[in-house]
Structure 1
Amino acid sequence: MSTNQTKVVVTGLGATTPLGGDVPSTWSALLAGESGVRKLDWENVDRLPVRFAAQLAVEPSELIPKAQLRRLDRCQAIALIAAREAWKDAGFAPPVKRKGGKGGDDGPKDGFQVDGERLGVVVSSGIGGLHTALNSYDTFREKGWQRVTPFTVPMLMPNGSSGHISIEFGATAGSHTLVSACASSAEAIGYAIDMIRTGRADVVICGGTEACIHPLQMASFGVMRALSTRNDEPERASRPYDKNRDGFVLGEGAAMMILESEEHARARGARVHAIAAGCGYSADAYDIVLPDPSGEGQAKAMRRALADAGLTPEDIVHINAHATSTPAGDIAELTSIKAALGEEAARKLCITATKSMTGHLLGGAGALESVITILSLREGLVPAVANLEDLDDEVDLDIVRGEPRKLPDGPIAALNNSFGFGGHNVSVAFQRAV
């Protein structure tokens, strides 16, 4: 990162996850090693090869009025919930209702007011409104086209979450959605950093959301042999780096953050959680599902994140790995970490895999794990990998296990990795705010 480049900071965090309905409850559960994975109580669930998932701890209906919820897909509803928490955490006033009555409210305006012309939104989803698409088709077949809700298209489109958030908060600098499978929300954070660096916005609401725990999705991933089939003990199914891992666990949730230029944050006296230092991208150009076994694409993303952030391998003390709990993927990522940072630097850092507790949020994973990475830097603690009972013989780097790991004091940095079907590789670099 050049010395004259705008520094981007994180001033707000929000989330709703299988571990909790907000950031504090999710973080507490992570440190306690709790699992958000549980059996599904669906009718005819025994017809499925996998009968468990990491469902939300708090239902959207507890936080969003029924009338509004009817116009939102599940992934859009939880995106709004996480965005509202992040906005409040950043110390901003509720958005002012704009001319025409769209967005905002008429209540008290405690907090800092944001100029909508300088406010952007980048919120991604790997799949979008899956529940809406499938349920609407069922309605069409069973009851006819007249009974399909007129909100079907805005509810199923992947950019719907970004659109609803931009409307609610009056963000007119730009509203964007990047779709790159499980790397989607990590890429959204990188795009948000660039929006601020290039002067398009002073503040950006960014992150990701996913809510596609549905029989079709369970069947599709199941027939690919991608999911764990540990139906007898679902809370122990996600076990990155364990010899007996047998696939990932599908999860749902949303995570958002508020990014600001350092100048804007300082001018309003904002609390800074961390520095969003940079982002690196690459494409494997290898296979639509399988990662390049050489790991070179993943390594390139990490090297480019370091270069973009102006960091060296020695600056990195921690990585929140993509580590989905698949037999091949976990080890391949460790190989790419060594290739990116060098053997010596790689052996000095500690690695965690929080999907062991949250499940895999697909397009929302990068945002949630970035929030967790930021909390690790801020609090100086890294959550331990859950269910790691018998370490794979091929693991030769320092995996946090047993109990949370204390990080060193001072100006340290960490990476969060996200890799997606299609060969998308994204690595985001964060620095501790000192």
Structure 2
Amino acid sequence: MTPRQVQKHVMDYLEATECQIIEKSPVHVTVKLSPRADQMLTDRPYYWGFVERTGAEPQTLSFTFVFDPEKYDAAASVPTPRGGAGLIAAGGNNVAVGYGAPASPPPWGGGAAASQGPNDAKGPGARPPGGNPGPDAGSNPGANAGGAAGGPISAAGNAAANNGPNDGILARYFGVTPMLPRLGPGLIRREDITFGSRRLRQIWSAAQTEGKCLHLFEAPGNLQRMTLFSAAYEPWLAVCFKVELSCDLRREELHFTGVSLLTGEVRENFSSILDSLELTPRLPENVHIQPYEISLASGAGLLERHILSKLSGQDYSWAEAARRRLQEELEIIDAYYEELLKEPDEEKRFATQEQHASRRKETIWQYEPNISVSPVVYGLFHLRRQ
């Protein structure tokens, strides 16, 4: 999958769960999760149990989901231009100061000192920013220049230690930790979402769990809302079956089949019918649902019999070939353990028998043909009767 396709899947889920989109670009999205999405994605059962017991206002987490990390990092590494920022060059006693004052302090923390010339600090008790106080600080331009711009390392260390956001004993021993980006009341965490990532699999699993059962109606046009007679909607029960054909190889098939609960008609490839329709979760205006002639249990039985009859007519030469490979593997295993089972030591012979049985069981599990059918998505659809 391309980053654009991954982004579409994630955005569809975020919109369906009513998450708040804070910022969006072609390569990332910053979002504040809704309570529904937070419970599915953040794995905080104790917190949500506390919210349910106490009735407290839930505080959901915020994330920056990055779909193309290379482009995102490349864009983030471009320095932001600062309006009127001057060029600072420190070399001995000479300080070259730009014509304009910087709009905001530079990242190394020496903005206040950089805007001063070598003779700006006056008086015997003056203390240049970033320097050390001395009796002759104002009369020595070299000291002022050194205190103002005394190299990027000293200026950064003094500014960070004295004026930084993490001033304290921990900052002295471990250095200044940069402030993490914050937006709103909580911290925004970055996560890279690419094909195969853990978070993308989690979103797919949540979407599959929440969207397994559907109840939708066909949206009528504007003309239907203005007519005097209501439209008749026919109920359909549709199930998407996943058929797994497995041996030492594996194949999966999806069969989306629907049955009319009014007439009992079964239609294959039911998704092609739904793709051309606009569906809504609410009952539209000026329509009515026809009463069911077939119950939901009977409709489900019709679909199960239909999929089984369809599978019974397929070619199963692959299963015969798998059984032949299974027999060959079992013969090789039996030939290998034939001599080992003649061990006179009873304890060793018993351990060998267990190993032989375990190896045969694993081989049978791997090569034995197997067919399983399970419903992936199912729903009740009310469509305009043709």
User: If the length of structure 1 is used for normalisation, what is the TM-score?
Assistant: 0.18
- Structure label with greater radius of gyration: 2
